[in-house]
Structure 1
Amino acid sequence: MDFQSLKIHFLRYVSGTDFSKAVILAFDMVLKVSVAYYFDAVPIGISLALGSFLVAPSDVVGNLKHRLLGMFSALFLGVSITLLLAFLNFNIWLSLPIYFVIIFGIAYISTYGFRASLVTFTGLIAFVLAFAKLGGDDILLHVTLITLGGLWFILISSIYWLLRPEKHQELLLGETAQLTSEFLSIRSKLGDKENRENWLKEQFNLQIKINELHESLRENLIGNRKSSGKSNSSRRKILVFIELVDILEISIAHPVNFEKVDELNKEYPEMIEAIENLLHLMSKRLTEISEFFIDGKTLKTNSEIVNKLNHLDHLIETYKETAPYPASRSMVLLMRNLLSYEYNRHEKIQSIERILGAINDRNKVSLGHKKIEQFITPTDYSFSILKENFSLSSTIFRHSLRLAIVMIIGILVGNFFHLQNSYWILLTIVVIMRPNYGLTKERSKHRIIGTLIGGAIALGMVLIIENPWIYVCFGVLSLILAISMLQKNYVGAATFITLMVVFLYTLIQPNAVNVIQYRIIDTVIGAVLVIIGNKFILPAWEHLAIENTIVNAIEKNIAYLKEIDSYYHNKEKLSNSYKLARKEAFLAIGNLSAAFQRTSQEPKSNQKQYPSIYRYTVLNYTFLSSLASLGTFIRTHKTTEASIYFETYVNHILKNLEVAMEKLNKNVKLDYDEKLSLDDAEKFLHTENKKLHTIRDQEIKDGYREISSDLRVKMQEVQLISEQLKWLHQVSLNLRNIKNKVSYERLF
């Protein structure tokens, strides 16, 4: 990485919301402790600072109502746990059963989703810090000060959010544009037959991140519309987001049938090379759009993409003139369809450019979407969610039990060996333990590496430097860096957390070596307990639960197929139900890809069904790609009326998917009709194709060298739709015929 790249990354880091929130938290905590120190009341300052620290994890930008609800809930839970544990300060053997119930109850709150999991984290941190006895003897004063400190932090963080309401949205849009750019770049490499499988896996992982960003943007842009929807700038950002979603759909849509691509590459490699170059240019343009949002760069006009599109058009004409005719006609239609997708994608990019050119204009902008709030994924906070998950078949239930058991073991280990600051063991368990094995193992490794690096750096510094004010400065800096890196660079976060702890304790205890030593020992003990716990205590292996995720992906693909079918028949204004079905299908395949990734991280002994899971994942993704291709073409072209033979293919596809779900222990009854056979449908499509070719042959005989635009569109329609229908049927048949189905085993 060169100096310029490092400079850009650094500037993005310090201008990001993670860094600014870390600065606010650090400033707030240091100010409270410093003022208290000045008045010789350090315990009061620590209690006030602890209130900020407990609320901060739930300070995630999103819907204002949900954000405040999360922060107040975190504060209430943190104070309640602190107060409760203060009154449980009696014989440890009598306390352990109560500790177990408390830990389980706190962890079980995360059943309600991501924001609830942040509240859970606060509750667990409050539980751990209660063992540190930071509040002195007056527990009522301590919890009162924690409450006041937390309320103060909610106030200042809300003021900050109100002063910069759109900054986080801009960063999310910029990051989405950047990842979409990377997605295009990967698609351009799928022509490489030898490395295609690796690129497809990388594409799966990238789409998981894109889906997460899409969900965050829906909540930020649409969820806050009551307060910001009147702003034309906010409306334009929503329009940019919509175009980015469409670009992703078009990118997924082609190429779908790689056999055709390989055939084209063999016969006419110049075309594939030109398309790859075009994709690189579009990817570069999306990167420039991301820089507009993230870095505030000016978006300059660029005609390279238009020139490359014209070049592609010229290549097609050259092929028509040089290739043997009429045998080359099907290949020309394929190239025309590929070019059509590129034009559609370019139109979306141009639309974003126009929107950004007038991002702050005051003229009113219509979103053209009624009930746009439907696109936000709702969170159900009803008691029924807790009731439904209160079973050993629930991953969160098992995780809550496992966490409670491992933390009780951690308490016993600390007491038995009389370890200094043994609550660090509990802190390590809380921070790195996750419901699935793969992520827990990865975080354990990162935690240990970060702790060792931080310990080594801290040891070197305290041996060389003996100035307490330098310790204070480095401690504050480490706090800022640790908090800002917590979400995206856990090794770095663990390193700076260790540095902060060492510098803090060095101010209290002169023997820094002992602090570092116990810090490392406690971290290693906690990490080992977590790894053993996740592997042997009520393990929730992904391959045992992935069956439902596969079924969900198939169901969402079916819903998307039905919406495309409906739109093809009616050809009216695109409904919200179509877009919702597309969104749900994208999210479902993202969830399946994430589940597959977690499966690949599990021990080799648990990966006996890995080939089947991989096949299910790839086939569902291929099916979605073909659906996106079909839907995009129908939406962007003037098509003929859908025939009964189209329905014939759809019915047979639904029948195959019904059988596939039955093999996955999902009894469903899909609505389909088998009056006509596939042979009938194929004969009809062949006849229609032949009719159009006959018309074209007659045009040529009559001296019309250039094909009429109407006939060209009809020929493209017959070729692409027939091709996609056959491909969808083949993929559905492959899903139906997977021999080694994912077996469902009891989780208990």
Structure 2
Amino acid sequence: MNLQQLKTNFLRFISGTDFSKGVLLAFDMVLKVSVAYYFDAIPIGVSLAIGSFLVAPSDVPGNLKHRLFGMLTALFLGVSVTLLSGLLQMNIWLELPIYFVVIFFLAYISVYGFRASLVTFTGLIAFVLGFANLGGDNLIMHAALIAAGGLWFIFITSIYWILRPEKHQELLLGETAQLTSKFLAIRSKLGNRNERENLLKEQFNLQISINDLHESLRESLIGNRKRSGRSNSARRKILVFIELVDILELSIAHPVNFQKVDELNEDFPEMISAIEKLLILMSDRLQDISNFLIDGKTIQSHKKIPEQLQFIDDLIETYKKTEPYPQSRPMILLMRNLLDYEKKQYEKILSIERILGAINDRNKVKLGHRKIEQFITPTDYSFSILKENFSLSSTIFRHSLRLAILMIAGILIGHFFHLQNSYWILLTIVVIMRPNYGLTKERSKQRILGTVIGGLLALAIVLLIENPWVYVVCGVVSLIMAFSMLQKNYVGAAIFITLMVVFLYALIQPDAVNVVQFRIIDTIIGAVLAIIGNKFILPAWEHLEIENTIANTIEKNIAYLKEIDKYYHNKEKLSNSYKLARKEAFLAMGNLSAAFQRTSQEPKSNQKQYASIYRYTVLNYTFLTSLASLGTFIRTHKTTEASIYFETYVNYILKNLQAAIQKLNQSVQLEYNEDYSLDAAEEYLEKENQKLHDIRDQEVKEGYQEISNTLRTKMQEVQLISEQLKWLHQVSINLKNITSKKTYERLF
């Protein structure tokens, strides 16, 4: 990374919403403590600051109603748990059962999703702080001040959100454009057969991140539409988001059949190189769009992409003239299809540039989706969700029990060994504990590494500089950096959290060495407890749960295929049901990729099904890319009427997918028929293809060297749709026969 890139990253960091929220939190907490210090009322200032600290984690962008509800719920739990912890001043053996129930309940709330998990975090942090005795002797006053401090922080963050409502949206759009740019760059390298498997894995992981950004944008842009719907700027951002989703679909849609691409690479490598260069140029263009959204940099106009498109067109003509004809016709049609996709991709990029060029114009912008709110993934907050998950089969239920057991173990260790500040053990467990083993292990490593580095840095500063004002400044800066990095760089966050704690204690007591020593010891104890707990206490191994994820992915692909089939028969305006099915299929694939990634992080002894899970992941992704290719072609080209033989292929594909789901011990109801055999359908497609080739041959005999656009489109349609149907059918067979290694090898 060069100096310019470091400068850009630094400027983006300090101009980002995470950093500004960190500054806001630090300013609020320091102001409260400073004013209290001035009036010799430090406990009051500390209590008010704790209120801000407890509310801050649940301050995440999104729907305004959900945001306020989440923050108020977090504050309510924080105050309630503080009161409960203060009232429980009895024998430890009588307290432990109550602690267990409270911790389980707090952790179990996270069953409602991401925002609820942040509320859970607040409640657990409040529970841990109860052991730190920060509130003085008056418990009721302490709790009331926490509530007041939290309400004040909710108020000022809401003002901030109102003043800068669009900054976070622009950053999310910029990050989405950036990751989509990387996605295109990876696609450009897939022509390399030797690197393809690693690139596909990288692509899986990247799509997980893109899917998460898409969901955040849906909630931020669409969820707040009632408030910002009158803003043309907000409408234009929605249009940019829609185009970015389409670009992802187009980039996934080609190339699909790698066997064909490999043949083209051997036969005409110049074409593959030219397409690679084109993809890189479009990737760079998306990066320019990202820079505009994040940094406000001007998008410079250039003609490189149109020139490269023309170069590819010329290459096709050269191939056409130099290779034997009509034998070369199938390869020419393949190249034409690839070029068509790239042109559609470029049109989407141009559309984004036009929208951004008029982002603040006052002219009215209409959105084509009347029911655009359907695209937000709803969260069910009903009591039935708690009831349904109240069993050992639920991952969250097991996680809640495990967390409660480990927290009790941490309390007992601190009690019997009289560890200094033993609540750090509990804090470590709360921060790094995750429902699955892989993430907990990774978080533990990061926590220990960050604590050791932060402790050594803080110790060096404290030993070299004996100035309380330096400690104050370093502590405030550490608080800002820790909160800013918490979501995206946990090692960095752990470093600054440790720095902040050491500087705080350096102001209170002179022996900083002991502070660092005990913090590292307590962190290691907490991390070891978390890892052991995840491995041996009601373990939730991903490979045991992943069958449901695989089955869900296949079901979503089925729904997407049905919508494509429906649209092919009745090509009118693209329905919301089609777009919803597409969205659900992409999200399901992202979830499967994430589950596979978590499986790869589990102990080797638990990876006996790793090869099968990997094949399921790759085959489902291959199936989705083929669906995207088929759907995109039908949507963007004028096609003929769908035949009954198209239905025949679809029905056989559905039959195979049903068998694949049943093999996963799942049940699914599908309707399909076998009025026509697959052989008859294949024979029909071959006849249609030959009929069009005969027409073209006759044209050539009559002296018409240039093919008409109508005939070319029909030939492209028959070739692409027949190839995709055969490919989808083959992949569906492979999914049905997943236990066969030979099946997987044939696919690649």
State TM-score, norm by structure 1. 0.99
Q: Which residue is equivalent to 1:725?
A: 725
Quote the Cα distance in structure 1 between the aligned partners of 2:352 and 2:523.
Answer: 48
SS in 2 for 1:194: helix
CA displacement 1:114-173 (0-9 Å, x = unmatched): 000000000000000000010011000000100000000000000000000000000000
SS in 2 for 1:739: coil
Structure 1 residue identity aligned to 2:646 = F
Deviation, 1:667, is 1.7
Quote the Cα distance in structure 1 between the aligned partners of 2:669 and 2:371.
Answer: 31
Structure 2 unpaired stretches of 5+: 742-748
- 1:83-102 aligned within 5 A: 83-102=83-102
Q: Which residue is equivalent to 2:221?
A: 221
Quote the Cα distance in structure 1 between the aligned partners of 2:2 and 2:609.
Answer: 44
Instruction: Note if 1:35 corresponds to 2:39.
Output: no
Q: Which residue is equivalent to 1:443?
A: 443
Structure 2 residue identity aligned to 1:295 = D
Quote the Cα distance in structure 2 between the aligned partners of 1:5 and 1:355.
Answer: 27
Of residues 115-124 and 301-310 in structure 1, the stretch that sits farther from structure 2 once superposed is 301-310
Structure 2 residue identity aligned to 1:560 = Y
Quote the Cα distance in structure 1 between the aligned partners of 2:671 and 2:628.
Answer: 22
Q: Which residue is equivalent to 1:140?
A: 140
Deviation, 1:740, is 7.0
Deviation, 1:298, is 1.0
Deviation, 1:669, is 2.5
Q: Which residue is equivalent to 1:307?
A: 307
Q: Which residue is equivalent to 1:8?
A: 8
CA displacement 1:8-44 (0-9 Å, x = unmatched): 0000000000000000000000000000000000000
- Taking only aligned residues, the RMSD between alpha carbons, in angstroms, comes to 0.7
After the TM superposition, which parts of structure 1 deviate over 3 Å for at least 4 consecutive aligned residues? none
Q: Which residue is equivalent to 1:106?
A: 106
Is the 8 Å Cα contact of residues 612 and 740 (structure 1) preserved in structure 2? no
Q: Which residue is equivalent to 1:415?
A: 415
Q: Which residue is equivalent to 1:389?
A: 389
SS in 2 for 1:527: helix
Quote the Cα distance in structure 2 between the aligned partners of 1:377 and 1:668.
Answer: 23
SS in 1 for 2:192: coil
Q: Which residue is equivalent to 2:475?
A: 475
Q: Which residue is equivalent to 1:738?
A: 738
Quote the Cα distance in structure 1 between the aligned partners of 2:313 and 2:627.
Answer: 26
> CA, structure 1 residues 740+30, in 2 after alignment: closer, same or farther (shift >3 Å)?
farther
CA displacement 1:576-595 (0-9 Å, x = unmatched): 00000000000000000000
Q: Which residue is equivalent to 1:53?
A: 53
Quote the Cα distance in structure 2 between the aligned partners of 1:233 and 1:332.
Answer: 43
Structure 2 residue identity aligned to 1:650 = V
Quote the Cα distance in structure 2 between the aligned partners of 1:63 and 1:619.
Answer: 36
CA displacement 1:496-522 (0-9 Å, x = unmatched): 100000000011111111111101110
Quote the Cα distance in structure 1 between the aligned partners of 2:455 and 2:369.
Answer: 55
Instruction: Note if 1:347 corresponds to 2:352.
Output: no
Quote the Cα distance in structure 2 between the aligned partners of 1:470 and 1:246.
Answer: 52
Q: Which residue is equivalent to 1:316?
A: 316
Q: Which residue is equivalent to 1:257?
A: 257
Is the 8 Å Cα contact of residues 222 and 376 (structure 1) preserved in structure 2? yes
CA displacement 1:276-312 (0-9 Å, x = unmatched): 0000000000000000100001112121100000000
Structure 1 residue identity aligned to 2:489 = N
Structure 2 residue identity aligned to 1:214 = H
- 1:22-421 aligned within 5 A: 22-421=22-421
Quote the Cα distance in structure 2 between the aligned partners of 1:731 and 1:423.
Answer: 54
Quote the Cα distance in structure 2 between the aligned partners of 1:686 and 1:634.
Answer: 19
CA displacement 1:393-423 (0-9 Å, x = unmatched): 0000000000000000000000111000000
Is the 8 Å Cα contact of residues 256 and 622 (structure 1) preserved in structure 2? yes
Structure 2 residue identity aligned to 1:309 = L
Structure 2 residue identity aligned to 1:514 = N
CA displacement 1:574-633 (0-9 Å, x = unmatched): 000000000000000000000000000000000000000000000000000000000000
Quote the Cα distance in structure 2 between the aligned partners of 1:571 and 1:343.
Answer: 22
Instruction: Note if 1:576 corresponds to 2:613.
Output: no
Structure 2 residue identity aligned to 1:202 = E
SS in 2 for 1:574: coil
Quote the Cα distance in structure 2 between the aligned partners of 1:696 and 1:338.
Answer: 21
Quote the Cα distance in structure 2 between the aligned partners of 1:605 and 1:737.
Answer: 25
Q: Which residue is equivalent to 2:702?
A: 702
Aligned residues: 741
Q: Which residue is equivalent to 1:430?
A: 430
Quote the Cα distance in structure 1 between the aligned partners of 2:166 and 2:712.
Answer: 46
Q: Which residue is equivalent to 2:745?
A: none
Quote the Cα distance in structure 1 between the aligned partners of 2:281 and 2:318.
Answer: 23
Q: Which residue is equivalent to 2:492?
A: 492
Deviation, 1:211, is 0.1
Deviation, 1:110, is 0.2
Q: Which residue is equivalent to 2:746?
A: none
Instruction: Note if 1:690 corresponds to 2:656.
Output: no
Structure 2 residue identity aligned to 1:395 = T
Q: Which residue is equivalent to 2:744?
A: none
Quote the Cα distance in structure 1 between the aligned partners of 2:688 and 2:489.
Answer: 57
Quote the Cα distance in structure 2 between the aligned partners of 1:199 and 1:623.
Answer: 17
Quote the Cα distance in structure 1 between the aligned partners of 2:138 and 2:439.
Answer: 40
Is the 8 Å Cα contact of residues 609 and 740 (structure 1) preserved in structure 2? no
Quote the Cα distance in structure 1 between the aligned partners of 2:100 and 2:165.
Answer: 41
SS in 2 for 1:273: helix
Instruction: Note if 1:600 corresponds to 2:600.
Output: yes
Of residues 293-302 and 566-575 in structure 1, the stretch that sits farther from structure 2 once superposed is 293-302
Q: Which residue is equivalent to 1:587?
A: 587
Structure 2 residue identity aligned to 1:481 = M
Quote the Cα distance in structure 2 between the aligned partners of 1:458 and 1:470.
Answer: 12
SS in 2 for 1:256: coil
Quote the Cα distance in structure 2 between the aligned partners of 1:483 and 1:668.
Answer: 46
CA displacement 1:674-722 (0-9 Å, x = unmatched): 0111100011001001110010011111111100100000000000000
SS in 2 for 1:671: coil
CA displacement 1:81-119 (0-9 Å, x = unmatched): 000111111111110000000000000000000000000
SS in 1 for 2:194: coil
Is the 8 Å Cα contact of residues 51 and 145 (structure 1) preserved in structure 2? yes
Is the 8 Å Cα contact of residues 389 and 396 (structure 1) preserved in structure 2? yes
Quote the Cα distance in structure 2 between the aligned partners of 1:457 and 1:277.
Answer: 46
State TM-score, norm by structure 2. 0.99
